[in-house]
Structure formats: structure tokens, C-alpha cells
Chains A and B, each alone.
Chain A
């Protein structure tokens, strides 16, 4: 009874509303909602009865007999646990959709209600011909709704859909004839009874029908045109009801196909995934992008059908398809169909959530399925894994582009509907996380040393707290991003505790994408955020593949290490990939870079350490690659920083340059090298956070980050100046402050190992670092005060307090580094596989084979000299004469404005000239080169989607013929 209600209540509603919608439209909407709600209630009851929600036995089912007798004489509707969950989603989408359609045209209601019955019928169908009838209902409703929608291309779309469904009808009936003629019955199971040539023919026919219906590449042409041309309302409802039902029906039928080896399907799917997404990469229309994404999911279904079986298969398809459908629904509902780009004004976050879900960012539900999907692929063939990962990454890129095309923070089109969808998505995340909880581990076993774990947690936790404190000022409406910063920080803090690959990956991705959202809150954040997101996605996918390839081990030797290393480079924004970091830092809300550069970037260092530990410490050749990369980064980025004249950019380049030293240290694979690296990691955190917070204050008060418009702020912002000064001295590596220690260890290690060329480069880089540090101080704080900044005040307290705390810590550890080292050095010594001798710590004295360093003594001496000089200067009695800024002599000329005489302008012109002979290497060129190649390839692939409906039919038929003869093994 309940099943009958679930399936046929909407149909009764449809029959009523065809009359009621003409007489009493308002009442008709309510009645439709009632019938739909009744059906929804029935499906929910069914789901409880079938224990569907624990996902343990999705094949579990109850049956409704229809007609007279039992199958094969009559037809059954079989409600499986998996299908009933899908049915609930269909109902929710329809209930939301009815209100949306009711705004436009009440008379479409009978169609929508019939579509729900057809969807459920298809989900529960067990009969070949019965499925055909439901498929036809769906096609007809789709044509009708499209032709009646508010979209300028309605006729073109309707004609195309009609042509394609006409072809499907013919092919399907041919399959029915062969099946009945050969087996004498029409249950879906009859497909499996076929043998010989009829089996091959039916396989070819049914696979063509299915791939055309689910819009899998290369038969996706009509689907792309549909999503591009149909109004967003229709496309949204379609994707969450009918399209979803067809996908799940296909998931049911595909494993029954009598092909000799189901793995063929996986290869078709994997190939389609790469080629289809390559074409999608070129898409510029947002609706079309959604179409390509839908083709990606169709391909994934084929892959799954070819590689997995049993409950695994049911779970994976269910999670992938259901949540992707909800997400698509949400995206489409946000679109404004009357606009050329419907998502121009969409609310940013509501749009981002579904897009992140489709991409598969944890802990959003699709992630669980994609992770397992890639694991399965890795088991089949590395080639298939590569195809899967590349396809999914390309999809991620164009979906992120869809998101970044919007203009920030306007309008509220479809906000309510998509909020409901968002709630569903978040609920799904909670649900699946609770189901999959056991696969997570927080034992911290990835890092064997508890001291290092605590150190990293302290950096992450402390950095997050201080950045949050900084974000509590009211700069440029920043209050909206602190939650995302918090989320990013919290998951970051737990990162050192991760006990296995999947846990590490989840925390890594949450950190990255929460930061993406936070950055997107900046005022001019669009391109910067896009690049940030793309690189975050790239590093995520690389890490994911690397984890999947490693199996239970975290980062196995070989290819996984290389992939993880590239992931680290992307995350760090190293040379070549600094593209994103520089753009994102300069685009982000003012305090966000402090968090990203100071705190979040250390996650990559952590990954590097974990990788090194997991593989038994980086072997020397790999280590030297790392060290060279680090050294060259340090130098080149330092040069970039010196020549740049934007406050944020200089800091961003400088930050990347500093990370180079850490890489050199880790690459040494010796105790000294690692001591240098970890020492520097910690101090980099301290001073970089101070510098970026200081920059945030300056930019907030003056409204610019351009060196040429700053200057002389020392009198206006003395505290900020002091903190910045100390940090600059620290990172320039001038004794007695902290930066010196790191360099000292590093040179010790390099000399110990005998890597003198790298030592030379590193040393030269630190000279250049001196140049940009010097320039920074002068350009911003010294020199002429620009008249525009004459009334500037000190930075807000919320920014100063964290700077003060960090500076205090910096001073403490500068003079007493042994406080830090006496814990760290034993911890590093205890790690397995590190070469070399550990430094000996005795009181304030640190001794290595090469020399010794007593920071306390050096510090005291320097302070003593400084104090002596200061007292001497004070006592000498010469007082400077204070004059007004424009109190200068001139002869018959107007005095130039302060900006013109500010010597920050063209500060390093000579150096720039000296370096002019070098070819201008742009890292951007590498990536734009890759992009160009992808674009050309994408253009070649998408040329098959000519737009002529008959070409699309030809695709299906050609596929049919080729597949048949291929199965048969020749003509």
C-alpha cells in the first residue's frame, strides 16, 4: 500500500490538477503540494522500514505486485533501500520545484507531477518494457516543459530533445524485440539470460540507449545543449528528478548487461571522463558547464559499473548521484534565467557550497564516494586512476570558473530554495561522516615524535587564535570571514593528529577550502580567489591520488612521493606556482594573508615531514632536488620581492623566499638540516604573522599598499613600525635576532653534507633579502610622509595585540633559543633515518662539528653595543633640528610634492638595470602554456558537438555499431 501511495499519489495529483489548474490555479498549487507531501511521507516510511540510512544493505527491498499473478507474467515494482533514498530526493526537489514553476505557469503542474511518478516508476521498475514506458513519459515531459519554459532557445532545445528521445525509442524497442524473441520474457533479469550474438546486440543497443539517456560522452551533445538552452528553473528540476532517476535506473541495468566483461564499461567511462572534461574545460557558458559536469557524473557511473559490485557499487552510485543532483539543483535555483549569465548575481556562498560538493571537497558527501572511486580505479589500473583524476580535476577547474564569474555578494535569486538544498547537503555531510567515522583516525601516528606534533599544533592553534584576534577589527566588512578562518584553523590544528591518509586529506582540504572562502570575501578577490582555489584543488587532487596509490601506508615511495611533493609545492606557492599565492595574498581581506602565509603554509611543511618520515626519510637524490628547488626559490623570490613595489606582494614574495630555506633544510636529510628547517618554520610563523598583520594595519589606515604612496609612517604608526622593524631584522637573519639561528644551522648542515653551491646560493639570497627588507622599512615607514597620510592614526588594537605578543615571543626565542632547541633537537634526533650528528646543547651554548653559537652572549653583546652607542649619542649633546616636511630650500622652483621625492620610487633601479640582461621568466607562462595546450585539445574534442541534432544521433549510432563489432571481435 505504502509503495503504491509513494509511486502513484503524484499521478492522482496530476490527474486532478489538469482540471483544477484551469479553474482554480492557487488551489491547484496547494493540492499538488499535498499529494507530493503524501508521497514524500510514504517514501520516508519506506526508507525507515528498509533501514536505508545506514547504507549497509542497499539491495534490501520490498516488492509491490501489480496486475494479476507474479513476474514474469506481470510486473513488479521493487523498492530497494538505495532507490528509496533517491525517491525522497526526487520528491523534495519536486516539492520545491512546484513552487518555482507555479510562479511561471501553473499549467505545467500536471507534467511535473507525472514526471515524479515516472521517476519513481523508473527507480523501482523491474521490467524491460515497463521501464520503456516510464522513460517515454520522462522524455515527453522534458520536451513539454522545455517548450513551455521562459528561455529564448526553447525551440532548438525541444527539437533536439525530441529527436534524441525518438532515436532512443527505436533502439530500445529493437532491444525489446530481441530479448523477447530469444528469452520469452521481459524482466530486466532476462538481459542476463542472453547468449551469443543476441547478447552482444542487446548489450550494444542498451548501452547506447543508456549512455544517450544519461548524457555520457560522446553522446552528451544534446544534454549540453539542454542545460545551456533551458531555463535554469527547468534545468534544476530536471536534474534533481528525472535525470537522477534515469541515472539510478541505468545503475540498476548496467551490471545486468550481457557483455563478456563489464570492465569494458569502465574503460569507456574513463575515456569519456578525460575527453569530455577536456571539452568542458573550454566551455564558457555556465549552463553548459553544468552540462559537462553532468557528463562527468555519467562517465563515473560507467566506471563504477565496470569496476565495483554488490553493496559497494550501490553505495557509491547512490552517494555520487544523489548529492550531485542536489548540488546541481541548488546551483540552478540560484540562477536568474532572465540574465545572459544567469549566475552573474548569485549569492557567492550559496553558489560555492554546491560547487565544492560536486568537485568532492571533504567533508561534503560526494568526497566519500570520489575517494573510494579513485581507490577502486587504482586497483584496476594506474592509467584509469590517472584518467579519473585528470578528468575530475578539469571538472573542478571549470566549475570554479563558473563560481568566480559571479560578481561578489549581490542579489537573492532563488536563495530560499537553494538554502533548503544547502541544508540537505550539510545534513548529507553529517550523515555520511557519521556512517564513515570509523575510517578516520586521530592517533597522530603519522608523526612519530610527540614533540613535533605538539610544536605544529601550537603553531597552528596559536596562529589561528592570533589571526582571528586580528580579524576582529572592523576592516572592510571583514566580519564575514572570521568563521571560515576559524574553520580552516581548527581543522589545521588537528592536522598533526591525523593517523591515516584519509584523515590527513580531509583536514588538508577543509583547511584549504575554508581559506578559499575566506579569501573570496576580499573586495577585489575574484581572479585571485580563482587561482587560489584552482591550485588548492590541484594540490588536493595530487595528494588524493598519492594517498590512494599508497594504500594503507601514508605516501609510499616512488610516484606517490613525487605527487605529494608537487602537492606541497602547489600548496606553498613555491617558485613556478607562486602565481596563486601572490595574487591571493594581494586580493584577500587584509588579515587573511597573515593566516595563510604565517600559519596555514606550515601545513605543507608538515606534509613534507610526514612524507619523509613515511618513506624512511627522503633519499639523497630526491633530497638534493628538494634542496635545489628550495635554494633557487629563495633566491629568485627574494629578487622579485626586492623589485616589487606593493607592500602585500613584497611580503608574499618574501614569504615564499623564506620557505625556500626550509626546503633546503629538509632536503639535507640530516639532523642539522632538519633542526634548521623546524627552527625556521617556527620563527617564520612568528615574524611573518607580525609582518602581515602590520601590513594589514597600514593598508587599513592608508587605504593603499602601493609603496609609492606610502612613506614616513614611523611618526604616525610607531608601534606598528617597532614590531615590523624587529620582524624585519629577524627575517633578514641579522644577529642577534632569530633569523640568524636558522641560517646558522642551515649553513652548518650544508657544509657538513658538502653542498657548497647551495650554501652559496642561500647566502646570496639572504643578501638580497637584506635589500628588500631595507626597502620595505624605508618605503613604508621612513622617508617623506605623503600628504594624503598626514592624519593617519595607529593601527587598531585588534591588530596590535597579536603583533605585540608574537614580537615578545620572537624576542624571547631570539635571546634564549635553547628554550626551544632543547626540546626540538632530541625530538629530531629520535626520528629514524636522519644522517649526521646532532648539535650539542649546553646551557646557552649550541655546538656543532663546525662551530658554536651562544645566542644569549651574542644578544647581550649586541644590546650592550647598541646601548653604548645610544648613550654616547644622547650624551654628545647634538640635537637634531626638527623642521617641517616642506621646509627646504629651492631656487625659483615649486617644491615637489612628497610623493615625487619619496625615494621608495624606483628604489632599486640600478639593480633592475643590472638584471635586465636576464630573460624575463614568468612563472605564469608555464601555466598559461599548459592551459593553451588543454584549450587546443578541448577545442578538438568539443568540435564533435556541432549543434546539429542529427550529428548527435549519428554519435549514438556510430557508437552502437563500433561497440557491437568490437564486442564481436571483428566484422
Chain B
């Protein structure tokens, strides 16, 4: 009771703090600050017609590398913890529908994911969502079978490779133009075409592979019943 009341008071006070700042948060009519620059120069500077991708992969690529590391650490930690202290969900026999879907759907989904990743610089898409889609395929396949997938070797290998290539792409930029994760030194091509925007597609692929392998690793870890530690 006391705690609820205290919580309520704190939240109301926070509400007052937020309310105090509201008058300063008026809606803008025009782009301001860096947003304006991104919108007016972004496509020419990076070669990516998807400006969000331009910001994520090119301008603020370091954030994205960090983001990858966040995910990497979280998945490594989850896998580590689940290996040490297995939860032990026994795989149950999949229902007919799941088993059937797991046979039919993976191919089109994968195709979609590949498109999604490869065209991140020209249309909505990107490494993260694409990777997540691939991982969902993996999850589907896993749910569609009753065995524990033994992929302890391959998934980490893909994860390592993808991570390494992301990092090395960054170093390539440093070596050529002295700017980490620069994507433009190979030329940016014509915005809107598949082969354009410098390294952005390559980085997206690396991110996609990494995200996919990390999520898959986590899914595998949840299936770990503790029989092998």
C-alpha cells in the first residue's frame, strides 16, 4: 500500500517534470539541425537513397557497430547463462500445421530476407530486420522438428565471420581514407541501383548474418535441456 502510494507520488512528480518541459517541445515545420543536412546531402554523400540506412550504416556507423556488439554480448551472455544453468524445455512433438509450415515457408521467407538485406540502401530494409527474419526461419525449422539442433559449431562460426567482416570493413576505411567505417572510398555509384552506395550493402550483409546467427544461437540455447553442458 505504502509502496503503491510512493510509486504513485513519484510517477506523478515525474509527470510534472515532463509537463514542465512540454511548452518547449513545439512541433517544427521544417527540418532542423543535422536532419536537414542528412535530407539534403545524404543521398549524394553516401549513395544510399534510403536515408535511414545512410544514417545507420554510413554517418553513424559506429553506433551500429556498437548496436551489433550489444546484441552480440546479450546473446553470448544468454547462451553462457543457459549453458551453465539450463532451463530445460523439453521439445514436444510439433503439431501437423507447424511441421508442414516449417517445410513450406522457410524458402520464401529466406528469399524475402535476402532481398530485404541486399536492398537496404534503396528501399525499406536493413541488416537488423533481415537478420531477425532469417532467425525466425531458423526458429520455425526448429519448432518443426522434435530434435535438438546440434549447431554448436556452425552458428558461432558464422557469427565470428560476420562480426570479423564488419570490423575489418571498418578498418579498411581507416587504411584507405583514415576514417573508420567509411563507405564511400570505392565510389558511391548511382543512387537507387543495387550495386551502389559503396560498402553499405556489404555491411548490411555482415550485420544480417551476424544478427541471424546470434538469434539462432539464443534459440538453440533455450532448447538446451542440460544434457550437454
Contacts and interface: CB of A to CB of B under 8 A. Distances in A.
Direct contact of A and B (CB under 8 A): yes
Interface of A: 1, 4, 8, 11-12, 14-16, 18-20, 22-23, 64-69, 72-75, 77, 105, 107-108, 110-111, 114, 117-118, 121, 127, 129-130, 133-134, 136-137, 140-141, 143-145, 147-148, 178, 180-186, 196-198, 201, 204, 950, 954, 957-958, 960-961, 964-965, 968, 971
Given A18-B163, A66-B61, A130-B63, 18 more contacts: A11-B167, A15-B160, A16-B164, A18-B72, A19-B156, A19-B157, A22-B153, A72-B34, A105-B80, A107-B83, A130-B60, A133-B66, A144-B80, A144-B81, A184-B33, A184-B36, A964-B17, A971-B16
A72 B80 contact: no
A110 B72 contact: yes
Interface in B72-94: 72-74, 76-78, 80-81, 83-84
B194 interface: no
Contact of B33 (A145, A148, A185): A185
Interface stretch (B100-108, B113-121, B129-137, B175-183): B175-183
Interface in B1-50: 3, 6-7, 10, 13-14, 16-17, 20-21, 23-25, 32-38, 45-46
A140 B183 CA distance: 29
Given A121-B66, A133-B70, A148 B59 contact: no
Nearest 10 pairs between A and B by C-beta? A184-B33, A144-B77, A15-B163, A133-B66, A19-B160, A66-B180, A19-B156, A961-B13, A184-B32, A67-B61
Contacts of A73: 34, 37-38, 59
B69 interface: yes
B170 interface: yes
A140 B66 contact: no
A483 B13 CA distance: 61
B181 A141 contact: no
B207 interface: no
A178 B178 contact: no
Contact of B66 (A134, A185, A197, A954): A134
B33 to A, nearest CB: 2
B77 A137 contact: no
A67 B69 contact: no
Contact of B174 (A1, A145, A181): A1
A968 B20 contact: yes
Contacts of A144: 73-74, 76-78, 80-81
Contacts of A180: 33
Output the residue of B69, B74, B181 with the most chain A CB within 10 A.
Answer: B69
24 contacts: A4-B174, A8-B167, A12-B167, A16-B164, A64-B174, A64-B179, A66-B61, A66-B181, A67-B61, A67-B180, A67-B182, A69-B45, A73-B59, A75-B63, A105-B84, A107-B83, A130-B60, A140-B77, A141-B77, A145-B77, A183-B33, A184-B35, A196-B24, A971-B16
Contacts of B6: 954
A960 B20 CA distance: 14
A16 B24 CA distance: 48
A605 B184 CA distance: 75
Given A15-B167, A67-B58, A75-B63, A197 B24 contact: yes
Nearest to B72: A114
A68 to B, nearest CB: 5
B222 interface: no
Output the residue of B13, B168, B175 with the most chain A CB within 10 A.
Answer: B13
A130 B59 CA distance: 12
A68 B80 contact: no
B76 A960 contact: no
B48 to A, nearest CB: 10
Contacts of A74: 59-62
B152 interface: yes
B173 to A, nearest CB: 8
B208 to A, nearest CB: 15
B21 A178 contact: yes
Contacts, number: 199
B193 interface: no
A181 B32 CA distance: 9
Contacts of A105: 80, 84
Contacts of A107: 76, 80, 83
A74 B63 CA distance: 10
Nearest to B168: A12
Nearest to A68: B58
Contacts of A129: 60, 63
B188 to A, nearest CB: 9
A824 B60 CA distance: 77
B121 to A, nearest CB: 13
A19 B159 contact: yes
A968 B19 CA distance: 13
A110 B20 CA distance: 44
Q: Is the interface of A mostly helix, strand, loop or mixed?
A: helix
A64 B14 contact: no
Contacts of A141: 73, 77
Contacts of A111: 73, 76-77, 80
Contacts of A127: 63
Nearest to A133: B66
Nearest to B22: A197
A289 B175 CA distance: 48
A137 B156 CA distance: 19
Interface in B131-151: none
Contact of B70 (A136, A183, A196, A204): A136
Contacts of B24: 182, 196-198
A960 B69 contact: no
B167 to A, nearest CB: 5
Contacts of B175: 1
Nearest to B198: A68
Contacts of B170: 4, 8, 66
Contacts of B181: 66-67
Given A4-B170, A69-B59, A75-B62, A15 B159 contact: yes
A18 B171 contact: no
A67 B159 contact: no
Given A65-B178, A184-B33, A960 B60 contact: no
Given A64-B180, A72-B33, A144-B80, A130 B62 contact: yes
Nearest to B75: A18
B77 A147 contact: yes
Output the residue of A64, A69, A130, A954 with the most chain B CB within 10 A.
Answer: A69
Contact of B171 (A8, A15, A178, A196): A8
Output the residue of B21, B61, B182 with the most chain A CB within 10 A.
Answer: B21
B102 to A, nearest CB: 27
Contacts of A66: 61-62, 170, 179-182
Nearest to B174: A4
Nearest to B76: A110
A107 B175 CA distance: 32
A145 B84 CA distance: 12
A140 B167 contact: no
Contacts of B168: 12
A357 B84 CA distance: 38
Nearest to B165: A15
A965 B19 CA distance: 12
A68 B14 contact: no
A960 B167 contact: no
B145 to A, nearest CB: 23
A114 B74 CA distance: 11
Contacts of B77: 111, 140-141, 143-145, 147-148
Contacts of A108: 80
Given A67-B58, A67-B61, A117-B69, A961 B179 contact: no
Contact of B21 (A11, A143, A198): A198
Output the residue of A20, A65, A121 with the most chain B CB within 10 A.
Answer: A65
Contacts of A110: 72-73, 76
Contacts of A14: 69, 72, 163
Contacts of B183: 67-68
A144 B85 CA distance: 13
